[in-house]
Amino acid sequence: MKYAENILDLVGNTPLVKITKLNPNPKVTILAKLEYFNPGGSMKDRMAVAMVEDAEKKGLLKKGGIIVEPTSGNTGAGLAMIAAIRGYTLIAVMTEKVSLEKELVLRAYGAEVVRTRMDVDHTHPEYYVNVAKKIAQEKDAFMPDQYNNPANPLAYYQTAGPEIWRDTEGKITHFVATIGTGGSISGIAQYLKEKNPKVQIIGVDADGSMLHHYFNHTDGEPHPYKVEGPGKDFIPNSLAIQYIDKVMVVNDAHAFATARELAREEGILAGGSSGMALFAAKQVAKQLPKDATIVVLLPDSGKGYVSTFYNDRWMRENKFL
């Protein structure tokens, strides 16, 4: 009989699928890595498992323990899935910007959800990361801290990077991914650069984030944006800038329009950050000669956003339609 011992055994080995209708340059191959095929619905399953297992080995997380983590939803879902299997309690801290669907998914797993303000920066005590730290301290809980945990990029270096190299038979020339905690793009980029230093790594940042300003050494002020997940107003330690060749900026309107096109033209229902990444990949493809192979990372499913940018009423209210 062939079966998994538990759902965590199914994390990883997500497929690549060719983008055809939305490819602006038929001479170039664009391949989307569908991370929503992970059992928790996003690429964050990879690092959630890695961070918990690392904590268990180090004795930081014991049987019946409490996990507290700031999240935009996907890391929380991965941790909630693990907590359900291994008997931990999860408290997920997320801002009011995060969709209701994501909160309900976490509660379905049995997690507790704490909502925080979204109009404060990382220096404010009510910033969601700072709220999580305070709760973890008060409850003597373990906080994986995806923004600074070395197990985050290592998870992608050990899994997603090798998968992309294997499935493209080493023919990948460009890798495009959004930047959030920095773990996924850094781990994958490091692996690909070690295999072939000529592979170009393109990071994608949200318009309103500060990461592209840090990368390009330019001045700017953070401002609100609607895409969930990518972008930060600080540099996470999980981000290894030295492996990134270029950072592109994509705004909400382009991100949401591209994600909606992806669903209607390619049958791929993905999140707003996926729309960001694909929009950037399309711009890169226009400038490349034949035989180039672009792999674009699509972080999560669009099912967590049906009340937001897949909803025409929400799009009109936010002046995107």
| The token pair that represents 55 in the structure block | 């904590």
| The token pair that represents 197 in the structure block | 């230093």
Q: What is the DSSP letter of 295?
A: E
CA distance 51 to 47: 6
CA distance 130 to 112: 17
96 Cβ partners below 8 Å, 6+ apart? Answer: 115, 116, 117, 118
* CB neighbour burial string for 151-180, b if at least 16 within 10 angstroms, e if fewer: bbbbbbbebbbbbbbebbeeebbbbbbbbb
Q: Is 291 exposed, middle or buried (0-12, 13-18, 19+ CB in 10 A)?
A: exposed
Question: Annotated catalytic residue: which of 2, 18, 21, 44?
Answer: 44
Q: Cβ distance 142 to 67 under 8 Å?
A: yes
Residues belonging to the chain: 321
Q: Pairing state of beta strands 16-18 and 29-34?
A: antiparallel
Helix-strand-coil split of the chain, %, nearest 5: 40, 15, 40
Active site residue 290: no
Q: Pairing state of beta strands 293-298 and 200-206?
A: unpaired
The secondary element (H helix, E strand) that includes residue 204 is strand 200-206
Q: Cβ distance 49 to 84 under 8 Å?
A: no
CA distance 319 to 224: 14
For the annotated catalytic residues, the residue numbers are: 44
